[in-house]
Amino acid sequence: MILLPIIAIIIVILLTGLRIAQEYQRAIVFRLGRFQGIKGPGLYWIIPLIEAQQKVDIRTKTVNLEQQETITKDSVTIKVNAVLWYKIINPENAIIKVAEYNSAVYQFSVTSLRNLIGQHTLDEVLREREQINERLQQIVDTTTEPWGIKIEMVEMKDVEIPEAMQRAMAREAEAIREKRARIVKAEAELEASIKLTQGAKEMEGSPIALELRRMQMLSEIGVDNNTTTVILMPSDFANAAKSFSEMVTRKKLTE
């Protein structure tokens, strides 16, 4: 009869020490305050009243870095926000070597973002966003690695620029587009002048070709514009027409 209560107590103690960790969880076990080991996933047992545990989630976490107002290298005040992805790769270090690892990662990432933006000009921030993301990831990952945390990716989402700077950038872009358009037009005119010069040299030795080209241009003018066109015939054409008319007249008289 005495054994039954003892057995019951032992069973209760054994059941009290049973724990379950999910596949994405790990349990850091402490025995009388000292690190004992990592348990899980699945069913495991700890010594009641002697051992304690603390669970961590080893899945990748997504953290939104709040919008930060910072000054670029060329003294432009901008607002930047970003997204951070990280995961715990060493649960022991994440619990033992840093307090509140979530807050520590967030605060260091925000500080690093502001500092890194301050090392670049506004144009670099807008053009080289991918390189800045990679650099920020390396900086944060180097610091969090001893904590057992891996920074997988950092991405800047939005860069908010003051309205005055936006207008200045718009004017600059418009000026660049106008410059390009003028250059293209000048190059086209240069190419056209070269072709015209080559054509003029070709027709210079052939008056008939030159006259045919002139007549073609006149016909094009007559099609495009509803106007009356006065054609000045060259003397050669007029003399030829006069001679032909006189020859026809003499032929009729002889007949």
DSSP for 125-141, please give it: HHH-HHHHHHHHHHHHH
Query: What sections of 64-127 are H helices per DSSP?
Result: 91-96, 101-117, 122-127
Q: State the average pLDDT for the chain.
A: 81
Cβ atoms within 10 Å, residue 28: 21
**Rounded Cα gap, residues 147 and 251, in angstroms:** 117
Q: Is the confidence at residue 244, as pLDDT, over 60?
A: no
Please, which pLDDT band fits residue 145 given cuts at 50, 70 and 90?
very high
Phi, psi of 172 (to 5 degrees): -65, -45
Domain ranges of the chain: 3-57, 61-165
**Rounded Cα gap, residues 50 and 53, in angstroms:** 10
pLDDT at 233 (0 to 100): 52
Burial of 4 (0-12, 13-18, 19+ CB in 10 A): exposed
Average pLDDT over residues 23-51: 92
Please, which pLDDT band fits residue 150 given cuts at 50, 70 and 90?
very high
What separation in angstroms does the CA of 126 have from each of 118, 156, 161, 233? Answer: 13, 10, 10, 66
Least confident window among 21-35, 76-90, 218-232: 218-232
pLDDT in tens, 180-236: 888 888 888 888 778 777 766 766 666 666 566 666 666 666 555 555 555 555 555
Rg (CA), the chain: 44
pLDDT in tens, 113-129: 999 999 999 888 988 88
Query: Is the pLDDT higher at 149 or at 224?
Result: 149
Please provide the CATH number assigned to the domain covering 61-165: 3.30.479.30
DSSP for residue 89: S
pLDDT in tens, 57-82: 999 999 999 988 888 898 888 899 99
Which helix or strand (DSSP H or E) is residue 177 part of? helix 163-204
Q: Could you tell me the pTM of the whole model? A: 0.64
Find the distance separating the first CA and the last CA of the chain, reported in whole Å: 162
